[in-house]
Copies of this chain bind each other. A is one copy, B any other.
């Protein structure tokens, strides 16, 4: 039997993984990677950290853990894979099973034969259709070239002020990187909030942390033009006509799948612009597979197609494609729950599953959510705050979403929730989950389990809550509400909302009933630092006959608006 010819277009995450997996399963195959860039298997998620000076060794982005550059020689020597770098695939002839290639450096054109083709062309930056986009100083952070440019900006202090356009994961990571290098940073976001995978309250908490680190954030703000002199960027003009002076602008307004080659070859493309693949990662042509940022992925919760350009998913998909092209369709990729995490200075923010916003948009009409604020471990072990939001589908009683922000151990919370969602666990089960507990790592009742307890209390009708945003609207409208903060004076002197609240410590409540509204139908909203004492105060008040008592979710710690102290 002649050796199988496997060709992989794209040698970053998915492509390199598919090729390596295929090799492990077939030592005889002729495997070729066609890569437009000079580099292979780049750790692209690490770019912001190199820019921000977390490490100084550029080659760490391109090398194995032992320091060997993952170049063509490495691929040939250790994996017997031929990697054609600086080579662009410009056409696929599906009849003749050929890939037409062009040398980026101007060398001769070539063709490569395939029996099985894996298409891993990744995604490219969305380019805002504005003037000045080509000015010197306007960049993305998607390639080694972009990375080298921004690294130089930092090293050589080429900019005192940088504007970042787009408040998604990369935009936020770039803000952190540059602000950590003492560069003034302004983040411009068209939407009302940054980090759109979070619900507004959670996103505002993340934004507050960025602001506390000196980043200026302009939301609901569009980009009108990049303005410059002699080809060089001098400022960013915003939708309101104002101009921010800056020397560098980073465009991070998202990516779209690189689908042209596939579309030209007649492969099926989805509505979102990604290549359509089945659960085996096969395209509409059974000899062509695709993986990574260029494909559409099934959202496991909604069942809908989605784009999920994430490095981890690219690797997992590449592994599936690599196995199926060698072994026949035998392993499947189930889809994504859109798990994401992002470091923001001393803080982290992330989500898994779907947000309340997405759930409602997708027609989940029976959901319940709650915002929970509590420490990640005991105070005596150096507790740090976590604020999370859990989304339960009350029809199935399953968890379908979880978001977490804070300076505590967000990573563990999200990993816990991601598995709970993928394990299709019910709320009752989460309420009794057996998680790793010891004081250095968690509270006896882990923050995640506490979140489940609170939303269960809510679903059972034992806890009536109100969100911070609803409270803020009531305050703005000057509604007649009795706000009850159940903390003591030593606490409210250092931290308080200042919305006209009354301070009656929980333990003193029953002795100070005369301070409460005498009309038992008055609206009373209880809270405290995290609203646990607020909850217990509400139970007392209801027992006293008050009929309209609510607890503000997450208390002061989850309040994303300005407060008095």
Contact = CB atoms under 8 A, between A and B. Distances in A.
Contacts of A55: 380-381
Nearest to A56: B380
A55 B337 CA distance: 40
Interface string A275-308: 0000000000000000000000000100000000
A422 B434 contact: yes
A252 to B, nearest CB: 15
A424 to B, nearest CB: 7
A109 interface: no
Contact of A13 (B378, B442, B444): B444
Interface stretch (A158-166, A311-319, A357-365): A311-319
Given A45-B439, A419-B423, A423-B425, A444 B379 contact: no
B378 A46 contact: yes
Interface size class of A (residues with CB under 8 A): 35 or more
A375 interface: yes
Contacts of A449: 316
B536 A428 contact: no
Nearest to A433: B422
B311 A444 contact: yes
A345 to B, nearest CB: 11
A310 interface: yes
Given A315-B444, A507-B74, A435 B418 contact: yes
Interface string A328-344: 00011110111111110
Contacts of A169: 438
A49 interface: yes
Contact of A312 (B57, B314, B411, B445): B445
Contacts of A27: 539-540, 543
Given A43-B378, A312-B434, A78 B418 contact: no
A49 B439 contact: yes
Contact of A310 (B77, B339, B437): B437
Contact of A65 (B45, B65, B350, B375): B375
Given A312-B437, A352-B436, A422-B425, 10 more contacts: A13-B444, A28-B543, A45-B438, A49-B440, A411-B441, A415-B419, A416-B416, A416-B418, A418-B433, A418-B435
21 contacts: A24-B462, A45-B439, A45-B444, A54-B381, A65-B379, A66-B529, A78-B507, A79-B536, A312-B434, A312-B435, A316-B432, A316-B449, A319-B453, A320-B432, A337-B434, A339-B436, A342-B438, A412-B412, A415-B419, A416-B419, A419-B419
